[in-house]
């Protein structure tokens, strides 16, 4: 059986020779200066990759960020660095963590079996000693006494070992909890508690690798969010994002996956959704819930009731890739915005070419 192609290592992502690398840096630095992006290794790697042009999705994300924000958000830079630069290393680390957990679990089972066998041995030995009450040979009482002392010593050692085992089991549980928290931090958006961009990419790619029948993608974008942040401040904007994340989790159907795509943009992967009407019903529920949000400005006690979102829908088709499906849903989303916002727009199939 052939092995799946191995993802390129971090260094293999940058195979350029010195002259090519210098040319890319000459392109990257003016981009950073133009957008007032601080010089640091993370930003250099992102804009070097941008000028390299091997990750169209990264370029689209960077273009959108510099268009929508007056300054480059540090948290976003770190997320993009993880998603597009060190993604393979993070996946290998998570795989290694899971292997450690599995190995520790296996060792724990084996040790428990060993302890059980030792306990059985003690029981059998005690029964044998009880049966040998009458001396058969002159030195048998001494032999039995030695056996008793040896058994007692082994029992004491085993009790100590069992104590250590229980302590180790407690440490194993603590380790598992720490790793689970680390995994959650790596896959969940810390603000909205839906999946983050990296997890969404992985889950959608997995879904597209199988039978795409019944797979739909919903993309939504909070309307006028930049102006909202400029007027009321980022803390209130964060509260809006948190409310939207909570609504998505509450309305999410079975086998659905909600994720924050970036900034004020979210995605929902729907399974068992065989037509745009079904996807539209879910989107309409969510649209009305967002429209009904009432957020209070604490400094003035003003209640805001102008929060809306625009939606784009797309059904997966045979042969779809991550990029093609996201592009169709994203195009539909921006058509909804061009049509006036606070509405849902389905992706329409490309017309067939005729001779």
- The catalytic residue positions are 264
Strand partners, 346: 313
Assess contact for 314 and 269: CB atoms under 8 A: no
CA dihedral (82, 84, 86, 87) positive or negative: positive
Residue 7: phi and psi, rounded to 5, are -65, 145
How would you classify residue 109: left for phi > 0, otherwise alpha for psi between -120 and 50, otherwise beta? alpha
Assess contact for 221 and 102: CB atoms under 8 A: no
Q: Would you call 296 helix, strand, or coil by DSSP? A: strand
298: DSSP letter: T
Q: Which helix (H) or strand (E) holds 251?
A: helix 234-251
Q: Which helix (H) or strand (E) holds 285?
A: helix 276-291
């Amino acid at each position: 059986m052939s092995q799946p192609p191995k993802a390129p290592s971090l260094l293999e992502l940058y195979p350029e020779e010195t002259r090519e690398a210098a040319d890319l840096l000459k392109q990257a630095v003016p981009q950073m200066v133009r957008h007032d992006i601080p010089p640091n290794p993370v930003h250099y790697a992102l804009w070097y990759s941008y000028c390299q042009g091997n990750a169209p999705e990264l370029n689209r994300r960077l273009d959108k960020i510099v268009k929508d924000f007056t300054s480059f958000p540090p948290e976003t830079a770190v997320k993009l660095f993880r998603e597009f630069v060190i993604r393979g290393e993070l996946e290998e680390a998570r795989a290694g963590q899971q292997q450690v957990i599995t190995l520790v679990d296996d060792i724990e089972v084996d040790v428990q079996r060993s302890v059980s066998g030792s306990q059985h041995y003690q029981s059998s030995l005690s029964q044998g000693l009880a049966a040998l009450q009458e001396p058969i040979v002159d030195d048998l009482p001494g032999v039995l006494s030695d056996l008793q002392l040896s058994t007692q010593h082994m029992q004491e050692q085993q009790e100590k070992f069992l104590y250590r085992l229980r302590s180790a089991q407690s440490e194993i549980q603590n380790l598992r909890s720490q790793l689970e928290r680390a995994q959650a931090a790596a896959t969940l958006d810390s603000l909205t508690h839906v999946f983050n961009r990296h997890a969404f990419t992985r889950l959608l790619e997995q879904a597209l690798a199988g039978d795409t029948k019944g797979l739909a993608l919903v993309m939504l974008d909070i309307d006028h969010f930049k102006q909202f942040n400029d007027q009321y401040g980022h803390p209130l904007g964060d509260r809006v994002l948190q409310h939207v994340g909570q609504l998505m989790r509450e309305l999410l159907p079975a086998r659905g996956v909600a994720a924050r795509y970036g900034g004020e943009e979210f995605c929902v992967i729907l399974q068992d959704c065989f037509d745009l009407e079904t996807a539209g019903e879910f989107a309409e529920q969510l649209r009305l819930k967002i429209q009904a949000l009432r957020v209070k400005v604490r400094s003035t006690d003003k209640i805001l009731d102008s929060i809306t979102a625009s939606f784009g829908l797309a059904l997966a088709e045979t042969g779809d890739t991550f990029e093609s499906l996201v592009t169709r849903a994203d195009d539909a989303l921006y058509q909804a915005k061009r049509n006036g916002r606070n509405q849902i727009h389905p992706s329409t199939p490309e017309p067939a070419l005729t001779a």
